[in-house]
Structure 1
Amino acid sequence: MRRCHVTARLLTTLLAGVIALPAFAFETSARSAYVVDLTTNTVLLEKNAQVPLPPASMSKLMTLNMLFEALEDGRVSLDTQFNVSQRAMDMGGSTMFLTTQDRPTVEELIKGIIVLSGNDACVVVAEGLGGTEDAFASMMTQRARALGMENSTFGNASGWPHPAQRMSTEDLAILAERLIEEFPQYYHYFGIEEFPYDGRAPDNRFNRNPLFDLGLGADGLKTGHTQEAGYGLVGSAMQGNRRVVLVVSGLDSEAARRSESAAIINFAFRQFVMRTAVESGQVIAEIPVWLGEAQTVALAAPEDVELLIPVTAHEGIKGEVTWSGPVEAPISKGDEIATFTIVREGMSDTVIPLVAADDVAAAGFLPRFTTAAGQVFSMARDLAGIGAGAEDAATEEPAVN
């Protein structure tokens, strides 16, 4: 494996005019936090992000994922009606105030879970899809594992306090990304601010998302609160062509959840800018070629690379080109033969492929013969040196103490 380090001042002109703000790592008071820019898949903040914690009602997002999957594979439709059991009716906490006489539709249950945080609605969905809530919780855990959510287990569908009900903030971000990207046809439900189901409990008809009225581009997803979990939020906001997902957990109050979430959104959008860091066809480096008509081949990016850059980054891009060598001719333009690891201070590395910028034909018979003969001569010389060293060692008199 061959490597070479490259420093390219590619961003000097791109960042001209950007106001340099003081560089800092956001210090959150949340017990756990995870913030990711979905547009570039860049993690902007993480704190205790892999620790399984009580998720409270934020785990309702997994119940919604299971329901959206059932919609997609045709097991239910938005008009499908579910029965309401006595167990669902008896759920405490936040509810839709369902009774056993009701036959809510899937669409009403989606709104009831998202806007009203209905614990009763979650039980209705769990029993409608899994037979029992326990069976549904087991299905949720298995599905979470399949989706790469390694730090999530479920004891129920609602987030009601339970020893098995645990999720990490990173897993909640993975889930939020899935709901946004895999189910765009249902995502608009997360932006509904009011749902007066059948005129019941008029004071409980508003979405609890604290970011909706702050002008930050927020359009989802779910709040959570229990005494054990504290106050949490899985939120998403869109500004321009960038979408940011944030997850915070373990805050002390509603006010803290609101102010901390707003501060994180401002940090994510104002401390970073998205720029074309590498352009398609831009030559990054040259590496040696073995047995070719040319001794080197230029390496270029196959497409534009958009990266988030801290607004204070005026030093250009630094990175490392890695390839397996020697690279033998013939080489065709566009062959992927190396990678470029881009390093940004305080941020995760980005690895992009590099391709040959030009064709390199194989050398003719005489150059190849000469190169091969040179290699044979070099190997013979090395072996002769090893033999002479061995003979010298054999004839050397032993040291006398």
Structure 2
Amino acid sequence: MRAFLIWLAAALALAAPARAFETTATSAWVYDVATGTVLMEKNADVPLPPASMSKLMTLTMLFEALHDGRYTMESTFPVSVEAWRMGGSKMFVEPADRPSVEELIHGIIVNSGNDACVVVAEGMAGTEAAFARQMTARAAELGMTHTNLTNSSGWPDPEHRMSMHDLGVLAAYMIREFPELYEKFAMTEYTYKGRVPSNANNRNPLLRLGTGEWTADGLKTGHTQEAGYGLVGSAIQDGRRVIFVISGLDSDRARAEESERIVNWAFRDFAMNRLVPAGETVLEAPVWLGTETRVGLTTRNGVNVLVPIAVRDQVRVEVVYDGPIPAPIAEGAEVARLVVTVPGRPDTVTPLLAASAVPEAGFVGRLRGAVMQLGQRAISAVTG
């Protein structure tokens, strides 16, 4: 087994030191999308009351139905008396209305309409209870292992639970799979049929910050007496996206301040570094009994590493393989691994591929290689 250290690029030599971050949220999960790096977790796998943040699962079910053609944006749903009577945040639909899918999406995202969620649930599954069972099953399929939903809106229920990790997984799925629909999470206001509710403006505090350094574009706030104030949020800076989920704050103001602090920390105290551009040769490895004595090692998509600035001088990068690599070698075959070790975080392991094919040598070439190998062993025996 061979391991070769690689000197890190000067891009890692950044200036300001990173600060330790302690969140005032009772539960939190912060995630860098491009590298799949969890930046922070606090009670992240504890099932908690998600309040209106669980509306993201209702929207996911509707988004999936749009993608597979069961509905269009112009499809309409009836409004039951049960939906009309829902309390809390409302879109203010009435039994005589036939809101479209697009209107309901706006009503859920911006107005956090509990009534709109029930309309969707009944329209898609017949009853809200049946829809909740479908959501719970779908959540499990998406890898959300601490989710059990009993209603479509996040209405308080002792069995209605999600972890902050699960909500983050769901947010990442929505952003990745439904980019054209995800854009709607940046809407700041919406009113259905001129009925002006008190919640006509999106409660997401980050959408109106306009810091100039980063831009927030989603996703959903939540609040009940039991859950406290929470937020599933996402922001972008220079093409880098961060998703975060917090819960248990004691006020709307505390939620806004903590959300801004988390986003600033995630962008300022971690740096994205392109360690290996896509297609670039990392190094050349020796080949055993091939028509060529060496083969280039490359990656399929390049290697990007997210580095906490505080430990930038402690990052270790190795290329690991069993060598020399025996011929024949197919172009694109996985023959080595690039291992990046960042203190305090799991190793990042990227497959390294053969940059070109190396056929097996003919009889004379194999004979020459065998003689050279025997000579090297003899030298080792004498000097060892």
Where on the TM-score scale, by shorter chain, does this alignment land: which range?
0.7 to 0.9
Please list, as runs of the form range in 1=range in 2, the aligned pairs for 1:2-401 lying within 5 A after superposition: 2=1, 4=3, 6-12=4-10, 14-15=11-12, 18=14, 20-215=15-210, 216-280=214-278, 282-284=280-282, 287=285, 289-292=287-290, 297-315=295-313, 317-323=315-321, 327-357=325-355, 360-365=358-363, 368=366
Moved more, 126-135 or 68-77: 68-77
Secondary structure, in 3 states, of the residue corresponding to 1:231?
strand
Measured after TM superposition, the shift of residue 272 of structure 1 is 2.0
Q: Distance in 2 between matches of 1:280 and 1:195?
A: 43
1:313–1:103: structure 2 CA closer, same or farther, 3 Å change rule? same
Q: Distance in 2 between matches of 1:175 and 1:332?
A: 39
Check the 8 A contact 1:9/1:317 in 2, yes or no: no
1:54–1:280: structure 2 CA closer, same or farther, 3 Å change rule? same
Moved more, 98-107 or 284-293: 284-293
Q: Deviations over 1:221-277 (max 9, x none)?
A: 100011111111001112221111111111222111111100011011111222211
Q: Distance in 1 between matches of 2:330 and 2:100?
A: 59
Secondary structure, in 3 states, of the residue corresponding to 1:203?
coil
Q: Distance in 2 between matches of 1:78 and 1:234?
A: 25
1:239–1:373: structure 2 CA closer, same or farther, 3 Å change rule? closer
Q: Distance in 2 between matches of 1:302 and 1:144?
A: 31
Q: Deviations over 1:296-349 (max 9, x none)?
A: 645333443222233345437513434456732122454321111211223443
Check the 8 A contact 2:321/2:335 in 1, yes or no: yes
Letter in 1 for 2:122: E
Q: Distance in 1 between matches of 2:163 and 2:221?
A: 15
Check the 8 A contact 2:27/2:43 in 1, yes or no: yes
Check the 8 A contact 2:49/2:227 in 1, yes or no: yes
Secondary structure, in 3 states, of the residue corresponding to 2:193?
helix
Check the 8 A contact 1:9/1:316 in 2, yes or no: no
Q: Distance in 2 between matches of 1:107 and 1:374?
A: 72
Secondary structure, in 3 states, of the residue corresponding to 1:315?
helix
Which is greater in Rg?
1
Q: Which runs of 5+ in 2 are unaligned?
A: 375-384
Measured after TM superposition, the shift of residue 373 of structure 1 is 10
1:364–1:157: structure 2 CA closer, same or farther, 3 Å change rule? same
Q: Distance in 1 between matches of 2:220 and 2:312?
A: 37
Check the 8 A contact 2:314/2:343 in 1, yes or no: no
Moved more, 278-287 or 74-83: 278-287
Q: Distance in 2 between matches of 1:169 and 1:180?
A: 17
Q: Percent identity?
A: 55
1:7–1:322: structure 2 CA closer, same or farther, 3 Å change rule? closer
Count of matched residue positions in the alignment of Structure 1 and Structure 2: 371
Q: Distance in 1 between matches of 2:273 and 2:267?
A: 13
Q: Distance in 2 between matches of 1:301 and 1:74?
A: 37
Residue 378 of structure 2 corresponds to which residue in structure 1?
none
Measured after TM superposition, the shift of residue 131 of structure 1 is 0.2
Q: Which runs of 5+ in 1 are unaligned?
A: 377-401
Cα RMSD (Å) of the superposition? 2.6
Q: Distance in 1 between matches of 2:280 and 2:220?
A: 43
Measured after TM superposition, the shift of residue 123 of structure 1 is 0.6
Secondary structure, in 3 states, of the residue corresponding to 1:204?
coil
Check the 8 A contact 1:39/1:241 in 2, yes or no: no
Q: Distance in 2 between matches of 1:3 and 1:253?
A: 56
Q: Deviations over 1:134-165 (max 9, x none)?
A: 00000001111111112111101000111221
1:292–1:317: structure 2 CA closer, same or farther, 3 Å change rule? farther
Measured after TM superposition, the shift of residue 356 of structure 1 is 2.9
Q: Distance in 1 between matches of 2:311 and 2:372?
A: 48
Measured after TM superposition, the shift of residue 287 of structure 1 is 4.8
TM-score w.r.t. the length of structure 2 is 0.87
Letter in 1 for 2:73: L
1:35–1:3: structure 2 CA closer, same or farther, 3 Å change rule? farther
